[in-house]
Amino acid sequence: MHLLCASCILGVMALSLRAPRPVAAEAELRSISSLVLSKRVAQALAAIDQLGSWITEQQILLTEIPAPTFQESARGEAIRKLFASAGLRTRTDSAGNVIGERPGASRKDAILIAAHLDTVFPPGTPIKVRRDGRRLTGPGISDNGAGLATLVCLARALHTAKVHTEFTLLFAANSCEEGEGNLRGMRKLIETFRDRLRAVIAVDGAATDHITTMALASRRLEVALTGAGGHSWADFGMPNPVHALARGISKFLTTRVPDTPRTTFNVGVMQAGTSVNTICGRAVAKVDLRSESEAELDRLEAALRKSVEAGVAEEMGAAAEAGHSSDPRIEVGFRSLGERPGGELPADAPLLEAIRQADRHLNNQSRLERSSTDANIPLSLGIPAIAVGGGGRSGGAHSPCEWYDPTGRELGVKRILLTTLSLAGVEP
């Protein structure tokens, strides 16, 4: 059993997405070599080169608007205004997604290009982008300042060149990709547009050297231990939730994981206590489990549960030896913080061929990879999807020293533009 009562809402959402509904057919591929002969496409490509300095300034402005998961509305409003200035029909949905629609000749066929709004940094984190030559440093400047900047650049280039597409283009700055957001924004987008979607392109961070076509499955769990609590001196020896949690986690950390299928775990958060001389009443750990195999995820989750229960039993035994055998038992609770499904883009998918054509045209080298991104949701439902970077170089993701260098950004934006138009088609 993966989910307890507290996770029922997430379960209902997942079930609604997995309900048997027809998946939109894949887009027909247009040759990029013929696309680039279009005068308007050539103008859009030229506009990307001309927008370099402007888009870097927009990236800085957007990055400096705090956007912790679940608190993205201020950044979303800034994006909405940029979308509107690029001629998009804008709205914000109930999940906080900012959507900019660029109608095509067909309203029933659409390509979704999305970049997540949120960052991993908690409220109150100082966010000021510093310049050192071309390098920009600041929390979230690449993840996902670079992705959001790419969306804006794409929309403006198409607007400037007056490119008209056969399929409708949906630009979305989506909410809740990071951490406990559990891909809430992308789930809502797929629920809303699923029957129209011919492809999804998620833009996340920088670089042009990868194409995420395989969705890495993950589970995120909160482990909470509760006890009576007491005084460190007067009640010494009574069952201590912190000690029990530490015993259990130390046991879990000895769990062996295979190299193939690659499997990982991480204890990302531990919280407990009110003062140094208090036996706390509650201790919490948040654990991330990832694997290329659902069976390995099942095994890891079972090992975590078993280890924590063993840690509690060991702590209760120690308390009994210290004369506290009649004290209340430490209670254990597990809560799902999110579950990302796996999936994979077929090797013969037109979407994959489209981006490979774009890479060949731009003389760009890239590799296929597996990762956990917004593309997990469409891929798990059989909707063609990839995740790519928006160009440029970056480092230090998810740290206060995160940096981004826009050198080469144009390559990333052009790569996505050509891939999108190859699938969406261009009207004469």
Question: Which of the residue ranges 1-5, 136-140, 269-273 would you say has the lowest mean pLDDT?
Answer: 1-5
Report d(CA 160, CA 40) in Å as an integer. Answer: 9
173 forms beta bridges with 98, 115
- Residue 27 binned pLDDT confidence (cut-offs 50, 70, 90): low
388 forms beta bridges with 203
**Cα dihedral across residues 354, 355, 359, 362: positive or negative:** positive
The per-residue DSSP string of 287-323 comes to EEEEES-HHHHHHHHHHHHHHHHHHHHHHHHHHHHTT
Residues 169-183: tens digit of each pLDDT: 999 999 999 989 999
Helix (H, G, I), strand (E, B) or coil at 202: strand
* Total residues found in the chain within this entry: 428
The per-residue DSSP string of 339-386 comes to EE--EE--TT-HHHHHHHHHHHHHT---EEEEE-STTHHHHHTT--EE
As a whole number, mean pLDDT of residues 319-347 equals 95
Q: Are 298 and 243 in contact (CB under 8 A)?
A: no
Fold topology of 7-216+343-424: Aminopeptidase (3.40.630)
Residues 275-321: tens digit of each pLDDT: 999 999 999 999 999 999 999 999 999 999 999 999 999 999 999 99
Helix (H, G, I), strand (E, B) or coil at 92: strand
Written out in words, the top-level CATH class of the domain with range 217-339 is: alpha beta
Residue 249 has pLDDT above 60, yes or no: yes
Residues 150-205: tens digit of each pLDDT: 999 999 999 999 999 999 999 999 999 998 999 999 999 999 999 999 999 999 99
Residue 3 has pLDDT above 90, yes or no: no
Strands (E), 133-281: 135-137, 167-174, 197-203, 210-215, 217-226, 230-231, 263-272, 278-279
Q: Residues near 238 by Cβ (< 8 Å), separated by ≥ 6? A: 227, 228, 230, 279, 319, 322, 324, 327
Report d(CA 428, CA 422) in Å as an integer. Answer: 14
Residues 250-264: tens digit of each pLDDT: 999 999 999 999 999
Joined together, the tokens standing for residue 342 give 């796996």
Report d(CA 295, CA 289) in Å as an integer. Answer: 12
Joined together, the tokens standing for residue 291 give 């694997």
Residue with tokens 């900047």: 149
Per-residue b or e along 384-419, where b marks 16 or more CB atoms closer than 10 Å to that residue's CB: bbbbbbbbbbbeebeeeebbbbbeebbbbbbbbbbb
Joined together, the tokens standing for residue 312 give 């509690």
Residues 231-241: tens digit of each pLDDT: 999 999 999 99
Residues 220-231: tens digit of each pLDDT: 999 999 999 999
Nearest to 205 by CA among 371, 8, 426: 371
- Residue 91 binned pLDDT confidence (cut-offs 50, 70, 90): very high
Q: Are 338 and 378 in contact (CB under 8 A)?
A: no
pLDDT of residue 26: 65
Joined together, the tokens standing for residue 354 give 């489209």
pLDDT of residue 179: 87
Residues 33-74: tens digit of each pLDDT: 999 999 999 999 999 999 999 999 999 999 999 999 999 999
- Residue 25 binned pLDDT confidence (cut-offs 50, 70, 90): low
pLDDT of residue 415: 98
pLDDT of residue 17: 43
Residue 4 has pLDDT above 70, yes or no: no
The per-residue DSSP string of 57-74 comes to HHHHHHHTS--BTT--HH
Q: Tell me how far CA of residue 186 lies from CA of 5, 116, 175, 385, 395, in angstroms.
A: 24, 9, 7, 12, 25
Q: Are 155 and 65 in contact (CB under 8 A)?
A: no
Residue 8 has pLDDT above 70, yes or no: no
Q: Please state the pTM of the whole predicted model.
A: 0.88
Residue with tokens 């894949």: 26
Residue 362 has pLDDT above 70, yes or no: yes
pLDDT of residue 18: 41
Report d(CA 87, CA 53) in Å as an integer. Answer: 21
pLDDT of residue 14: 44
More confident residue, 21 or 81: 81
Residues 389-415: tens digit of each pLDDT: 999 999 999 999 999 999 999 999 999
Q: Where are the domains of the chain?
A: 7-216+343-424, 217-339
284 forms beta bridges with 224, 271
pLDDT of residue 279: 96
The mean predicted confidence, pLDDT, of the chain is 93
Query: How large is the greatest C-alpha to C-alpha distance in the chain, in angstroms?
Result: 85
pLDDT of residue 106: 93
- Residue 30 binned pLDDT confidence (cut-offs 50, 70, 90): confident
Q: Are 404 and 149 in contact (CB under 8 A)?
A: no
Report d(CA 219, CA 255) in Å as an integer. Answer: 16
